[in-house]
Amino acid sequence: MNPTDQAGHSAAPGTRRYDAIVVGARCAGAATAMLLARKGYDVLLLDRASFPSDTVSTHVIHPPGLSALRRWGLLDDLIATGCPWLPAYAFELGPLVITGTPRAADGTAGAYAPRRIVLDELLVRAAQQAGAELREGFSVTELIADGDRVTGVRGHARGGMEISEYARVVIGADGVHSRVAEQVSAAPYREGPVLASAYYAYWSGVPATEARWILRASRGYGLIPTNDGLTLVLVAWPQADLAQVKHDLQGNYLREITAALGARLDGGRQETRIVGEGVPNRFRTPYGPGWALVGDAGYAKDPVTAQGITDAFRDAEICAGALDSVWGGGRGYDEALGEYQQLRDERVLPMYEFTSQFGNLAVPPPPEMLQLLGAIAGSQQAMDDFVSMFAGALPVPEFFSPRHIAALTGADPERPR
């Protein structure tokens, strides 16, 4: 099939020059395409998947991510899908239990954890409604360049012939194994190894009202309520154990969750097969001549702190704003996209470091951390602060500031009670 006919456009493939081609149409790509299209730009959004479809990812969207959905006019649509509101997060850290409410980021407290078949579909359709041209089932195989400047992409629809499309900028929103990043040799930095691999399935009959993280003896577990009355039940293993675990993934998964969650699974039924993976910890330079990266393509991290979707939304907003300031405001491309990189890194770096420590199941938490968590567990305000920090609604440096730590551990008369 001629992909141009499929998209409903009369121009032949390659004869039109878009403002942006976005490769990857999930939380980073669809959001970026939507925001650019809403500003009136001509956007082509490509994904080898079709929508609605699932991807390997659990679902917690923290308050800052919900604020983005609210700003974009999509939060009510998400709520209308029946996705349960999660007023609290709970952490079981050995014998300690920390339960608190993530504070609101401009009016949106708590969290939602929508299935990706729900969230990504919503974003993709919003991008289309804004005027972006969507081609599903379209795989990008390589980038086209004029000298060192990227000018387009080459790829094909399922079973179709190879075609080329051109744009002022090609945006890689193609996830952690980004073809765009690989093709432009986007420089990695602050790299760390894959720490853990998380595997999960959906269960019926396991009622839960909050998102729960459980860390015990080099294993992580998660219970996350999502759409359709289902609860996602997750196990994370240290990366070094994975080869052994994979010899009998389903058996090991069941043994682990039965031992760790016990009666909480009584009456429950596993409804889907197990999926999962480990994620590298890595930043990449997110722009260059004619290209940019958003979402996991530009910045990936262990999913233990559930930051990826919220980060993808932030990238989409900052990157789309930077491109608009170039095309609509006459700003220099390098200056605007350099600021995108700087803002991204400034905002996520403290959480990246916290995530790298929290997600390292192979090493027990350091004694200072255990001491701190012990002190937090005694105070509701301190637990709310911890949960808010985890949720990105209280800056990590503010939470770990000497003054705040002193207050939490009782070294300060202003200690929260």
Ligand X SMILES: Cc1cc2nc3c(=O)[nH]c(=O)nc-3n(C[C@H](O)[C@H](O)[C@H](O)COP(=O)(O)OP(=O)(O)OC[C@H]3O[C@@H](n4cnc5c(N)ncnc54)[C@H](O)[C@@H]3O)c2cc1C
Residues at the site binding ligand X, with contacts judged by CB under 6 A: 23-29, 46-49, 55-60, 139-140, 173-175, 179, 198, 276-277, 279, 295-297, 303, 306-310, 312
To the nearest whole angstrom, how small is the minimum distance from the Cβ of residue 348 to ligand X?
11
3-state secondary structure of 147: coil
| Cβ proximity to ligand X, 174 vs 408, nearer residue | 174
Smallest gap from residue 65 Cβ to ligand X (A):
7
If the CB atoms of residues 232 and 373 are measured against ligand X, the closer one turns out to be 232
Q: Could you tell me the smallest distance in angstroms from the CB atom of residue 282 to ligand X?
A: 12
Contacts of 83 (CB under 8 A, 6+ apart): 112, 113, 114, 115, 118, 226, 227
Closest residue to ligand X, based on beta-carbon distance: 308
In the complex, least distance from residue 291 CB atom to ligand X, rounded to whole angstroms: 14
Q: Which is nearer to ligand X, 26 or 404 (CB)?
A: 26
Query: Beta-strand (E) ranges in 88-218?
Result: 89-93, 96-100, 111-112, 133-136, 138-146, 149-157, 163-172, 188-192, 196-204, 211-216
Taking phi over 0 as left and psi of -120 to 50 as alpha, with beta for the rest, 374 belongs to alpha
In DSSP notation, 391-403 reads TTSS-HHHHTSHH
Nearest approach, Cβ of 21 to ligand X (angstroms)? 10
Phi, psi of 127 (to 5 degrees): -65, -45
* Length, in residues, of the chain: 417
- Minimum separation from the CB atom of position 367 to ligand X (A): 28
32 to each of 120, 154, 318, 384, how far by Cα in Å?
13, 20, 9, 32
Torsion angle of the four alpha carbons 88, 89, 94, 97, in this order, in degrees rounded to the nearest 10: -20
Residue 15 token pair: 């004869």
Q: Which is nearer to ligand X, 132 or 372 (CB)?
A: 132
Angle ∠(345,152,47) on CA atoms, nearest 5? 70
If one counts every other C-beta atom within 10 angstroms of the C-beta of residue 205, the result is: 14
Measured from the CB of residue 115, what is the shortest distance to ligand X in angstroms?
A: 11
In angstroms, give the least distance from the CB of 123 to ligand X: 9
Give the nearer residue to ligand X in terms of CB position, either 302 or 324: 302
The DSSP call for residue 108 is: B
- Of the two residues 206 and 312, which places its CB atom closer to ligand X in the complex? 312
Cβ–Cβ < 8 Å for 314, 328: no
Residue 175, both tokens = 């996830």
Residue with Cβ nearer ligand X (299 or 327): 299
Of 376 and 391, the one with the shorter C-beta distance to ligand X is 391
Give me the least distance between CB of 9 and ligand X, in Å please.
Answer: 19
Complex with ligand X: residue 50 or 258, whichever CB lies closer: 50
